[in-house]
Each structure stands twice: as structure tokens, then as C-alpha cells.
Chains A and B, each alone.
Chain A
Amino acid sequence: MKQERKFQSINHTVMKKDAMALLTGKPVYTQDLAPKDCLVVKALRSPYANAIITDIDVSAAQQVAGIECVLTYRDVPQTRFTTAGQTFPELSPYDRLILDAHLRYVGDPVALVAGVDEKAVHKALQMIHVTYEILDAVLDFHQAKDNPILVHPEQDWNPLVDVGGDNKRNIVAQACQDWGDVDAVFADCDVTVDSVYHTRQVQQSMMETFRAYSYMDEFGRLVIVSSTQVPFHIRRIAATALEIPKSQVRVIKPRIGGGFGAKQTAVMEMYPAIVTKLTGKPAMMIYTREEAMTVSSPRHEAEIHVRIGASRDGLIRVMDLDALWNAGAYGDHSPTTVTLAGHKSLPLYGRYEAFRFSYEAVYTNTIAAGAYRGYGATQGIFALESAVNELAVKLHMDPSALREKNMVREGQVMPAYFNETAASCSLDMCLKKVKDMIGWDKKYPRTVLPNGNIRGVGLAMGMQGSSISHVDVATVNIKVNDDGFYTLAVGATDMGTGCDTILAQIAAECLNCSVDDIVTRGVDTDTSPYDTGSYASSTTYLTGMAVVKTSLALIGRIKASAAQMMQCANGDNLEFTGKEVVDHVSGKRITLKDLANKAMCNHGIALEAAEEQPSPGSPPPFMVGAAEVEIDPETGHVELIDYATVVDCGTVINPALARVQTEGGIAQGIGMTLLEDVRFTPEGRIENNSFMQYKIPSRRDVGTIRVEFAPSYEPTGPFGAKSIGEIVVNTPAPAITDAIYNAIGCRFRDLPVTVEKVYEALKGQS
């Protein structure tokens, strides 16, 4: 169903409320705001992938001038916790300590040093004497399960929720879900594909690395100012890790220099926090880029085995997806991300008779992975969509025709998506439009250019969710102030995406006012209403719906106040126009300005409302992406020429911001597909630990990215909107690798597809 209504605030591009401050370089980020006397906090890090500290002598380090404290595992609380920013009880196991005698990967913190400046701290770090018992490490995730080397042999390993984990087998989570008779349908299929796909621990690489500072406030409470996506979770995690009451912690989120999921984990907040707790002094920790590359929370490395069975005429009858997930040294986000590999890929298809989705997430002595835009769906969609492209080859069918035949359609029940119904879905329109944009029918599969270079096109579908069903909540508070301006308080965190503006647009639409009449704020856990946080593609959809509910409740209070002021017996006849309240029976009216100002004197109705939105479902946005690449067969150089995409995110609230989300997500997908390699030494150290060696796309690497929308109307979303933040990273890997296949006949199932790999593959062909 298409929404015909004309909107005044939403569905229009509105400049972000903070744009001018950000573009003129105002000091609005964590480090800019920190007190000048903050102690500098840094960590000494493990040089070994698996080791026990048998002795640690910090006496010399403590003598360095300017050093406030040197902390080791002996100085910190011994309650295990998870750093995953998730709703309690978290599905991620409680397997961490602030500092631990057992070091589980290269970079695990050995000691914390706090001092008056960097020079003193660096000097002290070099004067800590550590004796290690070096243990064998399990670095290959294929060999992790039931390996005699245990990453977490400790007795107090503590999963709050049973997700199939077993620390005595290096398993974080495992499960298997069957629907229909998978084996019987496979036995009856004319054509099958059976392939394995591998993706790496790519880094979010937000421009502002992890950082936080902390101080004790005038009430003796610990305040943590953090560049985080999840302030409320940080409050709980910090209190647990520090063994202090949650009432003693306040978390403030200023402007954030990007997150992309990385900051859905409490990567480092507890380090300055414990320094402040123990010394009473303000303390700040700023991660270097090297730390952001090596001791952070990247995408999970995944190996996904896909089998698809189809009839000769291209009906996809059965799918089997088995995911092996590399948790790394700690289990943050592993039990949850791995489920998306199947739950947010298989529902792209709508005609299968059976499916199986099984998975195992395992511990290894490598960097602990976390949340990265796409949250496991990215890996799953690369695997499934690549397998469907391989099926098209086997069937001698155009891969777009194979999708047309099998894709999920609006109104269908999705068995692989908890039996939710696709109430809004224009995937068919997305495919049709994207084919026109890229010129599919003319260009598929390849064109040989006069200079010998070969161009190929490839495409893939994608999906995600909108919030975590049955888990996420969003609360919103709106109040009327002097002269009738509104303050909109949200607990969702704007990390550059523009949600403070988008949510104000939704409020302005409901309250029939200008976006400028609505004031928004960053998040402060003491004053902001509760929100699970900005992750899982929940902000526009879920917090947006809470804004709608709250606005309607507030209008009720505005009318009640007006009825009292105008002495109307019956408030039912009142209309709120945005500027005034009118009584159509008596003809009396009062402006919002007068009403707001009068309400501040001897009034009895609070001109303020708060409502909460739960998450009964998680309606998927859908999209199709198509890539055109040009390959030099002499060198293996792959150039991305064009990336066309059409997105169904429901009603588009702010077209410019939705477009930039899409372009940015695709650029990250391009990086993951072609450039971003994570390489380990045989000892388990990450080799490419800087932007010099780990190349994220520059403006020369992304070709042209073109975005269009094919909005469906989601009945449970604000004005028909669904999410857009994550889905956009999911199509480049399968679309680009298929474009490469269509150009040169080489199938790449192991990302990234570097020039070296293409060159080697071409050499092998000839």
C-alpha cells in the first residue's frame, strides 16, 4: 500500500541540527570536552596469544614522576562481565574481567597505567616487569571446538542464558533449526549447489577511535562521558565490572565520531572508570588507531557452508546454511550475531519447502569480535546470495530471473523469520528498478572493451530487521516550554546518522510545527528516557514510533490544559492545530504560546508526556544492489565502475540522510569485498594494524554509487517507515564477486578479493 498523504516535515530533507557545529569544527566530541587535568590512561598489552602472568612487578613503574597508579589483575574486582551492549540478561557470556592473569589474545591488557601526561605513562609502561607462562594457542577457528587448549578454562565462566555454550569445548553458542523435511527435499531436487564462503574480522574503522573519560561528581557519583552507542548498557556494565551500585553511575554521550556497531561494546570505558574509582581523579583514555585495529570489536570471521536444492526450472525448494563463527577470545555478540547469518538471509526467498540453519560460535586466541553494521546478516547474505548466483550458473539462468521467480513477496509468511509476515515488501520493485539503473539486460554477463579489459555485472538481494523483536524498547519524553517550544528527550544515540534530527522531524509532523520548534539533546542516563540504544536498526523505526505515541499523548494534555483555561465543559470538541487550540462549539481559542506561558503559573496539568514503544516484530527492509566492475586480465586489477541500488526502507523520513546512509554502507561493503584484509602472523598478532596497511576505501576506490528508493508502507512503523542503517552494507560482497565471476569466470568465496587473488586465479585459468 502506498501512502498518499502529503507530509510537511517528514519525507523532506532537513539539514541535521548539529551540521553547522560539526562542519565548522566546534569542540563537541568526548576528547574536546574533557577536563584539562584528566589523568592519561594507557594499557600494557599482552605480546602473546595465550599466556598466564606468573609474576608482575610494578614498583619501578610506580616511581616514575607523574604516575598516579599502576593497576594489575590484583587491583581489580573479580566479578566476570560481558562488554556486549545488550539488553539484560545478555546472551553473551560473562567471560571478562577488567584485568585478568590469563591473557587470551595478543593485546589483552596486562596492566593499566595512569599519569599526568603521555610521556610519563609511556615511560612507566616500559618499566613494568612481567613474567609470563607462555601457553600454546588456538588460532584457527576450524580447530577450536574440542581442542585440548581451552580459551576459557576458568571455573567462573558465566553464561546468564543457555545458548548452547560450553567453555570446556571452546563453544560460545550452538544450535540447529529445521523446518520441513530438508533431507527428503534435497533428495528430490534436480539441481543442487554446495559451497563454502569465508569472511574476515573487518574493522568498523570509524574516524573517532574508542574513548571515554570519567570523574566523580558533586554527589560522589561516578560520571562516564563516552563515545558510545549504548549509554544505558554502559551504566549497567560499568557498575557490574566495578562492583558498585548502578545508582552510583551516570553516563553521558556527547557527539560521536562514528560507531557502526563498534561502540555497541564497552570496549574500554571501564579502564578510565576504575582509575577514577580508585584515585578519585578524572581520567581519560583515548585508543590509538593501532588499538582500534587490534583490541576492539570487529565483525566476526565466518565460514558459512550453503547448500541449495532447486528444480530444473529454477524453483528454490530447500536451503541449508551452516555457520562457523569465530568469537575470538571473548564471547561478546557471538550468540546473537551468528543467528542473523540465517535468520536475515534465508527469508529473502519465499517458495522453499524446507530449510535448515545450524551454527557454532567458537572461542579462539584472537581478537574478540563484536557488532558491526549488518551484525552477522552481512556474512550470511554474502554466502546465501553467492550460492544463489552459483545456482543460476548451474541452471543456465539469468540470476535476476532466478530471483524474480523465488523472492519473498509482500503478504507472505516467512517461516525462516519466526513466521512473521512480510507486511511491507517491494523487493520486486527494487529488482526491476535496479536492473534498469545498471542496464542489466544489455550488460549481463560481460562486455569486452577494445583495450582488452573486461566488464561484468552482478547483483544480490539484501535484508535486515528493524529493531530486535521482543527485546528492544524505546521511551520518549516531550515537554512544552515557554512560548510553546518543545524539548524532545530520547535515549537513542545519534552517532552521526542524524537521528536527533529525524526524530524531531517525526515529532514536528505529529505536532504540526516546524522542526526548528523542537529542541533535542544528547543522551544522559540521569535525565534521558530509557532506550536500549542505537543498534539493531531500531532508531527510526522503534524510537520514531515512540515519538509518534508520545506526541499524541502530549496533544491530549495540551487539549486538557486548554479546556481548563478556556473553561470548556467538554474537551472532546477541541482541535489542536499546532499553533492554537480551538473550541469549535464556543468559538473560543488559545494560542500554544499563551497556553504554554499560562501553564507555568498555578496550573495543574503537566505539559509533558512520555510513552514507550515495545518490539512485537522486526519488519525487514529490503534492497537489491547491482555492481559493474572492470578487470584488467593482465594484472588482475578490479575497478568498481558503478554500484546501483534500490532500497525499500518503507517511508523515507529524510531523503538526504537515507541516501547518505545507503552510500556509506555500500562503501563499507565495497571495502570488505575488495580491500580490507585482516592478516595474522603465525603467533596470532594482527599484521595490518594501521590505515597504512589496512586500507579502507578512499574516494578513488568506490566508483559511482547510485541510490534510489522503492518505498513500501510498513503499518507498524512511524508513518510507514522501516530501518535503513544496517541493510545497506549487505549486498556489495555477493554482487561484486558475481560481477567478477561474470567478467572472468573466477568465483571468489574468500574475502577480500584482492588484486593478488584475481591475478593468481587468472594465471590458474590459462
Chain B
Amino acid sequence: MKITYWLNGKKRENHIAPDTMLLDFLRTCGCYSVKCGCETTNCGLCTVWFDGKPVLSCAVLAARIDGHEITTLEGLQDEAREFAMYMGQEGSDQCGFCNPGFVMAVLAMVRELHNPTEEEMQDYLVGNLCRCTGYMGHLRALRSYMAYKQGVKA
């Protein structure tokens, strides 16, 4: 079947098998930031944006993106680099395998929540698992990053 969609701002057309999952499809498009960690929608590694909202691409049929906009980390490099400085300073990148999904969730959170409390941030990001860090470094990075973002807005 044929799908027409926008990937990271560029209009594209492809012929796909109807049972193709979005995760696999995006990797064939060269979006290697999209990772698979669990296959059961529990880990958050495959998070991408569907019309600007974070979704788990392992649980979305590629056919569903017909007429829609998909954003992966490849399309958010400047913003990713900005947040990366805070994560990197904490050493919280570690093995890095969960980073793209986590960064996609954080950048979505920044758009969606206004001045979130720490509790709200934890709730928003709870679906993004990490086995290396114990999450404390994520929180430290988020605190400094959010303070920086507030500063930019003010």
C-alpha cells in the first residue's frame, strides 16, 4: 500500500506492506535513533512524535501515518544538543541506548507542560525506562535544563 506523510518536515511517499510497524519502517528510512528495547510497549525507547504527540512506534502501524507528520530525533538535532549538554554534564547518557526515546519524551514534555513540578515531570516520563542511571542524573539534568528554559522564556 502507498502512504504519503511528512517525516521530520519533509513530504515523502512510500509503498509498504500493510503489516509494517512504524518502528521498523522508520529505521528503513534511516532514522536509526529509533530503538527497540522491549517489543511490548513497556520501555519507551521507540518514542517518536505523531503529529507532535509522543507515541510508541513499536505499537503503531506504519499505515497509520498516511497524511500525518512524524518527528524523530533526527529532526530535532538542535534542541537535542541543547538538552544533551545537561545530560552529558551529569554523565547520565551512560550506554545511550535509551537516550533518543527519553530525549523525545523530554522535548515533548517541554512543549506540553507549562512550568511542570518535579512530580509532573516524573509522571510524564515514567514510561521511559533506563537501566544504567537509576534516574537521579536524569532528574538533575532536567532541573538545570528546565531552569535554563524558564530563563530563556523570561
By a beta-carbon cutoff of 8 Å, the part of chain A in contact with chain B is 13, 15-16, 18-29, 32, 204-209, 255-260, 288-290, 495-498, 654, 656-657, 659-660, 662-668, 690-692, 696, 698-700, 702, 704-705, 707
The contact of A700 among B43, B87, B126, by CB within 8 Å, is B126
Known: A19-B87, A20-B81, A496-B95. A702 touches B39 (CB 8 A): no
The contact of B130 among A21, A207, A665, A707, by CB within 8 Å, is A207
Within B70-84, which residues are at the interface with A (CB < 8 Å)? 72-74, 77, 80-81, 83-84
The contact of B131 among A21, A207, A498, by CB within 8 Å, is A207
Nearest residue (CB) in A for B34 is A25
**Most chain B C-beta atoms within 10 Å of own C-beta, residue among A23, A258, A289:** A23
Nearest residue (CB) in B for A657 is B91
Q: How far is the CB of B52 from chain A (nearest CB, A)?
A: 18
The contact of B91 among A208, A660, A702, A704, by CB within 8 Å, is A660
Contact of A660 with B97 in the complex, beta carbons under 8 Å: no
**Most chain A C-beta atoms within 10 Å of own C-beta, residue among B37, B128, B136:** B136
| Residues of B with C-beta under 8 A to A696 | 129, 131
Q: CA–CA, A495 to B95, complex, Å?
A: 6
| Residues of A with C-beta under 8 A to B127 | 698
Q: CA–CA, A668 to B73, complex, Å?
A: 28
- B138 sits at the interface (CB 8 A): yes
Interface stretch, picked from B60-68, B98-106, B109-117, is B98-106
The contact of A258 among B92, B95, B134, by CB within 8 Å, is B95
Contact of A702 with B40 in the complex, beta carbons under 8 Å: no
Q: How far is the CB of A586 from chain B (nearest CB, A)?
A: 45
- B18 sits at the interface (CB 8 A): no
Q: CA–CA, A260 to B33, complex, Å?
A: 22
The contact of A699 among B39, B40, B90, B135, by CB within 8 Å, is B135
Nearest residue (CB) in A for B77 is A24
Contact of B103 with A25 in the complex, beta carbons under 8 Å: yes
Q: CA–CA, A498 to B33, complex, Å?
A: 20
- B147 sits at the interface (CB 8 A): no
Known: A691-B129, A698-B129. A32 touches B96 (CB 8 A): no
Contact of A705 with B132 in the complex, beta carbons under 8 Å: no
| Residues of B with C-beta under 8 A to A13 | 89, 91
Q: How large is the interface on B (under 10, 10 to 19, 20 to 34, 35 or more residues)?
A: 35 or more
Contact of B134 with A24 in the complex, beta carbons under 8 Å: no
The contact of A23 among B80, B136, B137, by CB within 8 Å, is B80
Known: A207-B131, A208-B95. A23 touches B138 (CB 8 A): no
| Residues of A with C-beta under 8 A to B98 | 207
Contact of B126 with A258 in the complex, beta carbons under 8 Å: no
Q: How far is the CB of B61 from chain A (nearest CB, A)?
A: 16
Nearest residue (CB) in B for A669 is B134
- B38 sits at the interface (CB 8 A): yes
Known: A16-B91, A23-B80. A663 touches B97 (CB 8 A): no
13 residue pairs bridging A and B, Cβ less than 8 Å apart: A15-B88, A16-B88, A16-B93, A20-B81, A208-B97, A496-B93, A496-B132, A660-B133, A663-B137, A667-B134, A668-B134, A700-B122, A700-B123
The contact of A664 among B80, B93, B94, B129, by CB within 8 Å, is B94
| Residues of A with C-beta under 8 A to B83 | 23
- B125 sits at the interface (CB 8 A): yes
Contact of A289 with B89 in the complex, beta carbons under 8 Å: no
| Residues of B with C-beta under 8 A to A259 | 95
Known: A23-B103, A25-B99, A289-B39. A258 touches B93 (CB 8 A): no
Q: How far is the CB of B73 from chain A (nearest CB, A)?
A: 4
Contact of B91 with A654 in the complex, beta carbons under 8 Å: yes
| Residues of B with C-beta under 8 A to A32 | 32
Contact of B100 with A660 in the complex, beta carbons under 8 Å: no
The contact of A207 among B37, B77, B93, by CB within 8 Å, is B37
Contact of A290 with B39 in the complex, beta carbons under 8 Å: yes
Q: List 20 extra interface pairs beyond A19-B88, A208-B37, CB under 8 A.
A: A15-B88, A18-B93, A21-B96, A23-B80, A23-B103, A24-B33, A24-B73, A24-B80, A25-B99, A28-B96, A289-B37, A289-B39, A496-B93, A659-B136, A660-B90, A667-B133, A668-B134, A691-B40, A699-B139, A700-B126
Q: CA–CA, A25 to B81, complex, Å?
A: 10
Q: CA–CA, A26 to B99, complex, Å?
A: 10
Contact of B94 with A660 in the complex, beta carbons under 8 Å: yes
| Residues of A with C-beta under 8 A to B96 | 18-19, 21-23, 28, 255, 257, 496
**Most chain A C-beta atoms within 10 Å of own C-beta, residue among B91, B128, B129, B139:** B91
Contact of B95 with A692 in the complex, beta carbons under 8 Å: no
| Residues of B with C-beta under 8 A to A657 | 91
Contact of B99 with A23 in the complex, beta carbons under 8 Å: yes
- B42 sits at the interface (CB 8 A): yes
Q: CA–CA, A23 to B139, complex, Å?
A: 16
The contact of B138 among A20, A204, A290, A699, by CB within 8 Å, is A699
Q: How far is the CB of B128 from chain A (nearest CB, A)?
A: 8
Known: A289-B40, A290-B39. A496 touches B94 (CB 8 A): yes
| Residues of B with C-beta under 8 A to A21 | 96
The contact of B74 among A25, A29, A496, A498, by CB within 8 Å, is A25
Q: CA–CA, A260 to B132, complex, Å?
A: 9
- B23 sits at the interface (CB 8 A): no
| Residues of B with C-beta under 8 A to A690 | 38-40, 42
| Residues of A with C-beta under 8 A to B33 | 24-27
- B55 sits at the interface (CB 8 A): no
Contact of B90 with A22 in the complex, beta carbons under 8 Å: no
Q: CA–CA, A22 to B73, complex, Å?
A: 11
Q: How far is the CB of A9 from chain B (nearest CB, A)?
A: 16
Nearest residue (CB) in A for B104 is A25
Nearest residue (CB) in A for B135 is A699
| Residues of B with C-beta under 8 A to A205 | 131
**Most chain B C-beta atoms within 10 Å of own C-beta, residue among A208, A257, A699:** A699
- B7 sits at the interface (CB 8 A): no
- B22 sits at the interface (CB 8 A): no
- B45 sits at the interface (CB 8 A): yes
Q: CA–CA, A23 to B39, complex, Å?
A: 22
Q: CA–CA, A28 to B42, complex, Å?
A: 23
| Residues of B with C-beta under 8 A to A290 | 39
Q: CA–CA, A28 to B132, complex, Å?
A: 18
Contact of A207 with B135 in the complex, beta carbons under 8 Å: no
Q: Give me the 7 closest cross-chain CB pairs, A-B, nearest first.
A: A25-B33, A496-B95, A22-B96, A257-B97, A667-B134, A663-B134, A23-B84
The contact of B136 among A24, A209, A663, by CB within 8 Å, is A663
| Residues of A with C-beta under 8 A to B80 | 23-25
